């Protein structure tokens, strides 16, 4: 059954990929819980589509201390929540040749929003998703093509997305393993976008000044292809856009094969990995 999830939470739903994906899902009859910091944009989304199709839940996903109570509130309010799409993130340039320009607070904020927040959310939402067995549930992590081929200009962003990519492999391995039958109903999906024309780049002053603030493919084109991949009949663990697929496969194919062999060997030896 393609995309069986009927109540989906999406972080970063006030703009870009998060908003476009939310609207695509709403049009498909999926109830969306839209998460973001900008309350006015969330309310506009509800006004546009109606409260019977989408709910606005303002929250700053970088507030890790507030997250446990917030997740408990969300799962109590939406007991049928069966899929979480962890999309929120931002990007900043990082110039190691000019150390005085590096803002360590910005570096930490980027790490928190792009990686620590999804890691915390996965941990906190898992008890709820486990409780829904045997009904299918999913965790969708949005990384980037830069997780595999980092862009030197945004070294920290690339590193955070590489961390999300690695997390997706390990999480999927654990929940689908023979020793964890109680989590086999949880599917782990990774979406790996290329450069897409969103607010991610125009928010960076150096790119605006260089006239490079709208790289990549059109958002609508990207979402349409991504949606087709998400609703395919066959199991799909990684959603990679066609503009990246061949390039990433050259790097990822051998690496993934080696990793899967390593996992099999560890399991065969009865070792905890």
Grouping H, G, I as helix, E, B as strand and the rest as coil, residue 245 is helix
List CB contacts of 211: < 8 A, sequence separation 6 or more.
none
Q: Report yes or no: 138 and 83 within 8 Å, Cβ to Cβ.
A: yes
Can you point out the beta strands (E) in the chain? 7-10, 31-36, 54-58, 83-86, 137-142, 186-192, 238-240
Residues catalogued as catalytic: 157
Assigned token pair, 42: 């969330």
DSSP per residue over 207-243, as a string?
HHHTT-SS-SB-HHHHHHHHHHHHT-SS--SEEE-HH
The secondary element (H helix, E strand) that includes residue 41 is helix 39-49
Q: What's the rounded Cα separation, in Å, for the pair 37 and 18?
A: 13
Strand-pair category, 31-36 with 238-240: unpaired
Strand-pair category, 31-36 with 54-58: parallel
Cis peptide before 20 (omega within 30 of 0): no
Cβ atoms < 10 Å from Cβ of 142: 27
Grouping H, G, I as helix, E, B as strand and the rest as coil, residue 140 is strand
Cβ atoms < 10 Å from Cβ of 194: 19
């Amino acid at each position: 059954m393609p995309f069986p999830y009927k109540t989906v939470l999406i972080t970063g739903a006030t703009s870009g990929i998060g908003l476009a994906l939310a609207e695509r899902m709403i049009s498909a009859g999926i109830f969306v819980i839209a998460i973001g910091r900008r309350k006015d944009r969330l309310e506009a989304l509800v006004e546009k589509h109606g409260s019977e199709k989408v709910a606005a839940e303002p929250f700053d996903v970088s507030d890790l201390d507030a997250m446990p109570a917030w997740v408990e509130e969300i799962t109590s309010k939406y007991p049928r929540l069966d899929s979480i799409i962890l999309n929120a993130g931002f990007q900043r340039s990082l110039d190691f040749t000019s150390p005085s320009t590096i803002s360590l607070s910005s570096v930490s904020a980027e790490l928190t929003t792009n990686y620590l927040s999804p890691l915390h959310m996965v941990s906190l939402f898992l008890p709820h998703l486990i409780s829904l067995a045997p009904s299918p549930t999913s965790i969708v992590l949005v990384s980037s093509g830069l997780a595999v081929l980092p862009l030197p200009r945004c070294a920290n962003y690339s590193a955070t997305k590489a961390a999300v990519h690695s997390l997706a492999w390990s999480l999927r391995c654990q929940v689908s393993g023979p020793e964890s039958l109680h989590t086999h109903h949880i599917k782990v999906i990774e979406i790996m976008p290329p450069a897409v024309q969103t607010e991610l780049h125009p928010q960076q002053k150096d790119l605006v000044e260089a006239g490079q603030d709208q790289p990549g493919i059109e958002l609508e084109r990207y979402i349409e292809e991504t949606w087709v991949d998400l609703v395919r009949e066959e199991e799909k663990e990684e959603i990679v856009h066609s503009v990246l697929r061949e390039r990433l496969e050259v790097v990822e194919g051998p690496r993934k094969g080696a990793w899967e062999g390593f996992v099999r060997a560890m399991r065969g030896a009865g070792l905890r990995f």
